[in-house]
Amino acid sequence: MESNLSGWLFLIGAVLVMVIAIFVASAASRSARSRRETASVISSKLSNGHKVGPKSPKVFVCYRRDDSADVAGRVYDKLVETFGRPHVFKDVDSLRLGRDFRESIDKSVSSCDAFIAIIGRNWLDEVSDGIRRIDDPTDPVRIEIESALARNIPVIPVLVRGSVMPKDTSLPSEIRALAFRHGVPVRRDPDFHTDVDRLIKGLENTFAEDTSLR
């Protein structure tokens, strides 16, 4: 009787040891796989310009506050998650007090590798002092777009709130080229994240093709 009991206890102990060994081995395997996946993600980000350094890609976000400030903020946050806060500039948020805003805008845009123009339904037709703001040569949005087009960097119209691309004939001659730049729509939830992810993927592909960023 005692011999049988000892045998069963031994067998149970052996099974427990085997189960623990399998569990430990499985946990070690998962940990190693997780480290490999993390390293792969980091490597992918480095190869796509996510590294911190002088060659990191920079993105400028242009928008009209009354037209699309809330959407622009969400797009900005998603870009920051991918490229890092030091590499994403949002309109006048980067301007310093007491400086000529035209020079400040040109300097900010000149340091960027891509330019995003967020266009809502009222972007083109906003009026100030009786004229369309886009027709005013001192309009910051117009200055930003002029500067970006002059540098011939990727200028990406992002259409929000169901807006459509403005026709070239509806734009001042200095920025009519904007009408021919390929853009992307960014819809409201539940499509917002999918659309912005598509925008970010397009930026990454553009940066990967730009030999000056390698």
Amino acid at 14: A
In a domain, residue 52? The reply is no
- CATH number, domain of 65, equals 3.40.50.10140
pLDDT at 180 > cutoff 80: yes
**Of 11, 27, 47, which residue constitutes the final position of a domain?**
47
User: For residue 60, what is the DSSP state?
Assistant: E
Asked whether residue 199 falls in the same domain as residue 99, the answer is yes
In a domain, 197, yes or no: yes
pLDDT at 106: 80
Same domain membership, residue 17 and residue 109: no
Tell me which of 148 and 13 has the higher pLDDT.
Answer: 148
Residue 13's identity, in one-letter code, is G
Share of residues in the chain with pLDDT > 90 (%) = 57
Question: Which of 117, 201, 113 is CA-nearest to residue 159?
Answer: 117
pLDDT in tens, 99-137: 667 777 888 788 899 999 999 999 999 999 899 999 999
Domain count, the chain: 2
Q: What is the pLDDT of residue 53?
A: 43
CA distance 12 to 25: 20
Question: Do 142 and 193 reside in the same domain of the chain?
Answer: yes
**What average pLDDT score do residues 151-161 get?**
95
Q: Count other Cβ atoms within 10 Å, centred on residue 88.
A: 23
* Range(s) of the domain holding residue 4: 1-47
Residues 83 and 43 placed together within one structural domain of the fold: no
Total Cβ atoms within 10 A of residue 57: 24
Helix axis angle, 101-110 relative to 140-151, nearest 10°? Answer: 40
pLDDT in tens, 44-103: 544 444 444 445 789 999 999 999 999 999 999 999 999 999 999 986 555 566 666 777
CB atoms closer than 10 angstroms to residue 85: 11
